[in-house]
Structure 1
Amino acid sequence: MGKPVSVDLNILIETPNWSVLTSLLRIPRGKVCTYGELGKFFKMNPRAMGRIMGMNPFPLIIPCHRVIRSDMSLGGYSYGVDLKRKILEREGVKINRTNKVDISSLYRFTEAEV
Structure 2
Amino acid sequence: MGGVTEVAWTVVDAPIGPLLVAGTAEGLVLVGFRAEPAYVERALGALGRRLGRPVVADAGRLEAVTSQLDAYFAGTLRAFDVPLDWSLVTGFARRVLRELASGVPFGTVVGYQDLADRVGEPGAARAVGTAMGANPLPVVVPCHRVIESDGGIGGFGGGLEIKRRLLALEGVLPAPLF
> What TM-score, normalized to structure 1?
0.75
CA distance in structure 1 between the partners assigned to 2:124 and 2:115 by the alignment: 9
SS of structure 2 residue aligned to 1:51: helix
SS of structure 1 residue aligned to 2:163: helix
Number of residue pairs aligned between Structure 1 and Structure 2? 95
Structure ranking higher in strand proportion: 2
Match of 1:19 in 2: 95
- Name which of 135, 145, 154 aligns with 1:56: 135
Match of 2:159 in 1: 80
Runs (4+) of structure 1 exceeding 3 A deviation are: none
Match of 2:106 in 1: 29
Higher relative contact order (CA 8 A, sep 6+): 1
Deviation of the 1:28 alpha carbon: 1.0
Higher Cα Rg: structure 1 or 2?
A: 2
Unmatched segments (≥5 aa) in structure 1: 98-114
Superposition RMSD in Å: 1.8
Deviation of the 1:2 alpha carbon: 4.5
Unmatched segments (≥5 aa) in structure 2: 1-74
Match of 1:71 in 2: 150
Match of 1:91 in 2: 170
| 8 Å contact kept, 2:115–2:125 | yes
CA distance in structure 2 between the partners assigned to 1:68 and 1:75 by the alignment: 5
One-letter code of the match for 2:109? V
1:76-109 Cα shifts (integer Å, max 9, x gaps):
00011111011011011135x9xxxxxxxxxxxx
| 8 Å contact kept, 2:144–2:163 | yes
Percentage of identical aligned residues? 38
CA distance in structure 2 between the partners assigned to 1:71 and 1:86 by the alignment: 20
CA distance in structure 1 between the partners assigned to 2:108 and 2:80 by the alignment: 17
Deviation of the 1:19 alpha carbon: 1.6
